[in-house]
């Protein structure tokens, strides 16, 4: 038993000794810490700094190695740089960015074991600044505006400075960024087709050449034939997603884009087209492309216009493809441009113009740009009085009264349109084309002179002091001076012809301060070249009566108008067989500056100015068998007085005069009357 107690005690003592020996060895092992050495900092030639150090683990497990650096030696606000662990026990780190030029930085190497950091000595370096970014490649060298692009390289990120991207100077939006990849957008305000891409950090930068915008392409346009404000679809590629960055032109005219994506544009045919056939040009990606076929405007159509019309009548032109802007539709009726009052693309409202309509028919046309479309049915002008010309070559406003017809030819004596030429000329009418031939007159006359014809020759009383009286032969075109008028000199006398003889009388002398009134009358015989006095006109001869209307029917002359007071609406007939004046039916009112003619056995009085009133455009017909006056169709739509008139070949004509209500303008229009 004692022996076993001794053995147990011995074993226990040995265990204690062994345990103490292990504790001593463990204590010696904990004393051996990792050793860290800060070696140096090598500033890079292009910025950045290479930090180097080393460590000995001394049997410890090292979990991290690297450097810490700071602007001060106490390492306030220090920055930790982790290096990669390898078997060489070296600590290396290239600090590409995060440092400023010419600034001293403090750094030291470290190794971490069991959560504890072990450091080398603190050293410092003077920085040359961070390293410049480097671009190696881009995701695509071609693209479109607002597309996403990736830039590959290194040193793209700096904790101390912002990274900027630009395309040839135009800033780009950065979507995401790390040290080696930048995702950005192609700028919407890019200015160049080919661009250098630049990455810039502080004063450091790198560029990549080059990125190019893709050229837009047009594959089709539908429809290619259309009208104003229609929508066209343009299909292709490389258009811009933003409507505002696409421009579409029809020739030189920009169109409105209503929809845009990369492959489709929708545009409206503009109102301001300059031609019916235009190139379509698309401008996108700072480039332009022209489609290989022209756009063609659909021609307008005229489908219906009422055929039988009157001058100044409101009409509707029905059709299709008219311009939506009213005034862009150029409508002509017998080549007379008319104003449109209202309308739309299928209907236009206007008026039949006053003329001229020399054919008494009218062709309706519409012109849109260079397209001219003619309505296939001619219009019939139904007016009795139709303007057949609007460009008389002479001025007739209370000129030598009145027009004359001799040898079945009509003549007017008047000055030319040239206001600087006050000479009087003989104008011969051509009824085929309503033109006038001009010839000179070998004597002078006053504007108050008169002309009259016996059907064979023309006779002119010049109203000058010599009472000159001249004859013109239309066949020989010769003038001859005849026996002077034997009455007193007078202005605007009444005149007519019966049985080949010429009658001149009445009138007034306006040259004295107080005008002299005349009622005496004289007859000229071409056979004897002599004058004889006939019965005076005595009714109200205490009033002036000049510029009367006259016409001859069945060898009886009819005289009236020329009124100078409101009571002078009387009309008279002269009977050469009895040499007497017989009163007939009164005219409608007291009036002067009228013009008259005989046609088919009736007398006609046109226009003129009622006493105290304004010009009229009415026409009155006298029937000698009934001794009454009847108002018939107006002479067009323009009032006039002091005009001329005549009848020829079963038709009557009037023209000139002072037109409109006031008579203040000289008319150059000319009307034909077919009863």
pLDDT digits (tens, 9 = 90+) for 284-295: 999 999 999 999
User: How many C-beta atoms lie closer than 10 Å to residue 162's C-beta?
Assistant: 11
Q: Are residues 347 and 470 in the same domain?
A: no
Output the DSSP codes for 518-579.
---EEEEETTTTEEEEE----TTTTS---S-EEEEETTEEEEE---SSTT---EEEEETTTT
Residue recorded with tokens 């009454």: 628
**pLDDT tens digits for 350-373?**
999 999 999 999 999 999 999 999
Q: Are residues 540 and 391 in the same domain?
A: yes
- Integer Cα distance of 213 and 168 in angstroms: 13
Please calculate the CA angle 332-337-343 and round it to the nearest 5 degrees.
Answer: 75
More confident residue, 3 or 43: 43
Q: Which residues pair with 581 in a beta bridge?
A: 574
Tallying the residues shown for the chain, one arrives at 675
Q: Are residues 91 and 170 in the same domain?
A: no
Strand order in the sheet with 247-250: 217-222, 231-237, 264-268, 253-260, 247-250, 280-284, 287-290
What is the pLDDT at residue 4? 38
Structure tokens at 663: 């008579």
Q: Are residues 430 and 501 in the same domain?
A: yes
C-alpha 247: how far from its chain's center? Answer: 20
- Integer Cα distance of 82 and 341 in angstroms: 87
Structure tokens at 657: 């005069």
3-state percent breakdown (helix, strand, coil) of the chain, nearest 5 = 5, 50, 45
**pLDDT tens digits for 451-509?**
999 999 999 999 999 999 999 999 999 999 999 999 999 999 999 999 999 999 999 99
Q: Are residues 446 and 576 in the same domain?
A: yes
Q: Are residues 379 and 427 in the same domain?
A: no
More confident residue, 542 or 151: 151
Of 323, 352, 383, the one marking the end of a domain is: 383
Mean pLDDT of 100-115: 95
CB 199 within 8 A of CB 205: yes
pTM score, whole prediction: 0.78
- Integer Cα distance of 43 and 438 in angstroms: 109
Q: Which of 522, 529, 563 is nearest to 546 (CA)?
A: 563
- Integer Cα distance of 610 and 429 in angstroms: 30
Confidence of residue 1 (pLDDT cuts 50, 70, 90): very low
Residue recorded with tokens 């001329």: 644
- Integer Cα distance of 93 and 463 in angstroms: 127
Q: Are residues 427 and 343 in the same domain?
A: no
Total tally of structural domains belonging to the chain: 6
What is the pLDDT at residue 11? 42
Q: Are residues 71 and 94 in the same domain?
A: yes
The yes-or-no verdict on residue 27 having pLDDT over 60 is no
Q: By CB neighbour count within 10 A (0-12 exposed, 13-18 middle, 19+ buried), where does 13 fall? A: exposed
Structure tokens at 649: 């070949």
Of 182, 213, 244, the one marking the end of a domain is: 213
Q: Are residues 450 and 583 in the same domain?
A: yes
**In this structure, what CATH number is given to the domain that contains residue 149?**
2.60.40.10
- Integer Cα distance of 640 and 635 in angstroms: 9
**pLDDT tens digits for 568-582?**
999 999 999 999 999
The yes-or-no verdict on residue 23 having pLDDT over 50 is no
What is the pLDDT at residue 541? 76
Confidence of residue 31 (pLDDT cuts 50, 70, 90): low
Confidence of residue 30 (pLDDT cuts 50, 70, 90): low
CB 107 within 8 A of CB 69: yes
CB 536 within 8 A of CB 521: yes
- Integer Cα distance of 672 and 360 in angstroms: 10
Dihedral over Cα of 285, 286, 291, 297: its sign: positive
Q: Are residues 327 and 436 in the same domain?
A: no
Question: For the chain, what percent of residues have pLDDT higher than 90?
Answer: 91
Q: By CB neighbour count within 10 A (0-12 exposed, 13-18 middle, 19+ buried), where does 447 fall? A: middle
What is the pLDDT at residue 408? 98
What is the pLDDT at residue 46? 83
**pLDDT tens digits for 594-640?**
999 999 999 999 999 999 999 999 999 999 999 999 999 999 999 99
Mean pLDDT of 554-567: 97
Dihedral over Cα of 249, 250, 254, 255: its sign: negative
CB 477 within 8 A of CB 438: no
- Domain enclosing residue 653, as ranges: 387-673
Structure tokens at 322: 């008219």
Classify 245 as helix, strand or coil. helix
Classify 406 as helix, strand or coil. strand
Q: Are residues 157 and 251 in the same domain?
A: no
**pLDDT tens digits for 256-306?**
999 999 999 999 999 999 999 999 999 999 999 999 999 999 999 999 999
Confidence of residue 181 (pLDDT cuts 50, 70, 90): very high
Mean pLDDT of 71-92: 94
Mean pLDDT of 408-428: 97
- Integer Cα distance of 251 and 145 in angstroms: 25
Confidence of residue 542 (pLDDT cuts 50, 70, 90): confident
What is the pLDDT at residue 311? 98
Q: Are residues 377 and 391 in the same domain?
A: no
Output the DSSP codes for 47-80.
B-EEEEEEEE-TTPPEEEEEEEEESSTT-TT-EE
Q: Which residues pair with 69 in a beta bridge?
A: 79, 107
What is the pLDDT at residue 14? 43
Q: Which of 122, 93, 115, 94 is nearest to 34 (CA)?
A: 115
What is the pLDDT at residue 89? 94
Q: By CB neighbour count within 10 A (0-12 exposed, 13-18 middle, 19+ buried), where does 410 fall? A: buried
| Mean residue pLDDT across the chain | 94
Of 128, 147, 164, the one marking the end of a domain is: 128
**pLDDT tens digits for 512-540?**
999 999 999 999 999 999 999 999 998 88
CB 250 within 8 A of CB 272: no
Confidence of residue 663 (pLDDT cuts 50, 70, 90): confident
Q: What does the H/E/C string look like for 417-470?
A: CCCCCCCCEEEEEECCCCEEEEEECCCCCCCCCEEEECCCCEEEECCCCCCCEE
More confident residue, 511 or 44: 511
The yes-or-no verdict on residue 18 having pLDDT over 70 is no
Q: Which of 294, 233, 288, 293 is nearest to 258 (CA)?
A: 233
């Amino acid at each position: 038993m004692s022996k076993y107690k001794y053995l147990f005690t011995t074993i226990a003592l040995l265990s204690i000794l062994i345990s103490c020996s292990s504790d001593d060895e463990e204590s010696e092992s904990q004393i051996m810490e990792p050793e860290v050495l800060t070696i140096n900092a090598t500033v890079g030639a292009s910025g950045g700094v290479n930090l180097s150090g080393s460590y000995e683990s001394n049997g410890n497990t090292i979990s991290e190695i690297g450097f810490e650096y700071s602007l001060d030696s106490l390492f306030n606000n220090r920055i930790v740089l982790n290096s990669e662990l390898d078997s060489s026990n070296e600590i290396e780190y290239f600090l590409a960015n995060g440092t400023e030029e010419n600034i001293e930085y403090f750094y030291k190497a470290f190794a971490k074991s069991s959560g504890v950091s072990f450091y080398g000595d603190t050293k410092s370096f003077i920085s040359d600044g961070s390293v410049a970014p480097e671009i190696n490649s881009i995701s695509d060298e071609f693209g479109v505006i607002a597309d996403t692009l990736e830039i590959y390289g290194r040193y793209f990120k700096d904790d101390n400075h912002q990274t900027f991207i630009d395309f040839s100077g135009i800033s780009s939006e950065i979507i995401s960024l790390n040290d080696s990849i930048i995702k950005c957008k192609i700028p919407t305000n890019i200015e160049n087709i080919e661009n250098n891409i630049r990455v810039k950090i502080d004063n450091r930068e790198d560029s990549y050449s080059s990125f190019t915008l893709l050229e837009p392409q047009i594959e089709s346009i539908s429809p290619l034939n259309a009208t104003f404000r229609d929508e066209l679809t343009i299909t292709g590629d490389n258009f811009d997603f933003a409507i505002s960055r696409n421009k579409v032109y029809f020739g030189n005219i920009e169109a409105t884009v209503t929809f845009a994506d990369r492959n489709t544009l929708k545009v409206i045919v503009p109102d301001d087209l300059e031609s019916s056939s235009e190139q379509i040009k698309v401008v996108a990606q700072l480039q332009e492309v022209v489609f290989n076929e022209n756009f063609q405007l659909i021609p307008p159509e005229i489908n219906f216009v009422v055929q039988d019309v009157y001058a100044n009548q409101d009409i509707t032109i029905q059709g299709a493809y008219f311009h939506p802007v009213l005034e862009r539709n150029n409508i002509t009726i017998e080549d007379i441009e008319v104003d449109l009052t209202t309308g739309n693309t299928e209907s236009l409202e206007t008026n039949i113009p006053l003329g001229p309509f020399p054919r008494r028919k009218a062709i309706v046309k519409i012109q849109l740009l260079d397209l001219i479309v003619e309505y296939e049915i001619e219009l019939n002008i139904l007016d009795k009085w139709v303007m057949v010309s609007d460009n008389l070559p002479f001025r007739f406003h209370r000129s030598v009264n009145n027009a004359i017809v001799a040898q079945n030819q009509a003549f007017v004596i008047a000055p030319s349109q040239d206001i600087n030429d006050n000479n009087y000329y003989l104008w011969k009418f051509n009824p085929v084309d309503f033109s006038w031939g001009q010839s000179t007159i070998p004597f002078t006359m006053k504007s108050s002179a008169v002309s009259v014809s016996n059907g064979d020759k023309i006779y002119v009383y010049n109203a000058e002091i010599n009472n000159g009286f001249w004859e013109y032969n239309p066949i020989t075109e010769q003038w001859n001076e005849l026996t002077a008028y034997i009455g007193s000199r007078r202005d605007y006398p009444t005149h007519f012809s019966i049985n080949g003889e010429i009658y001149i009388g009445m009138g007034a002398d306006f040259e004295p301060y107080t005008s002299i009134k005349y009622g005496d009358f004289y007859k000229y015989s071409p056979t004897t070249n002599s004058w004889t006095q006939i019965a005076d006109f005595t009714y109200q001869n205490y009033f002036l009566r000049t510029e009367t209307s006259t016409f001859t029917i069945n060898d009886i002359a009819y005289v009236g108008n020329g009124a100078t007071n409101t009571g002078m609406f009387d009309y008279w007939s002269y009977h050469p067989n009895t040499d007497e004046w017989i009163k007939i039916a009164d005219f409608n009112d007291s009036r002067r500056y009228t013009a008259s003619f005989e046609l088919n056995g009736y007398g006609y009085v046109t226009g003129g100015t009622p006493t105290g009133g304004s010009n009229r455009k009415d026409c009155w017909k006298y029937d000698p068998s009934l001794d009454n006056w009847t108002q018939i169709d107006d002479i067009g739509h323009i009032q006039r007085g002091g005009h001329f008139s005549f009848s020829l070949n079963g038709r009557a004509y009037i023209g000139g005069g002072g037109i409109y209500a006031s008579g203040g303008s000289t008319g150059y229009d000319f009307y034909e009357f077919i009863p």
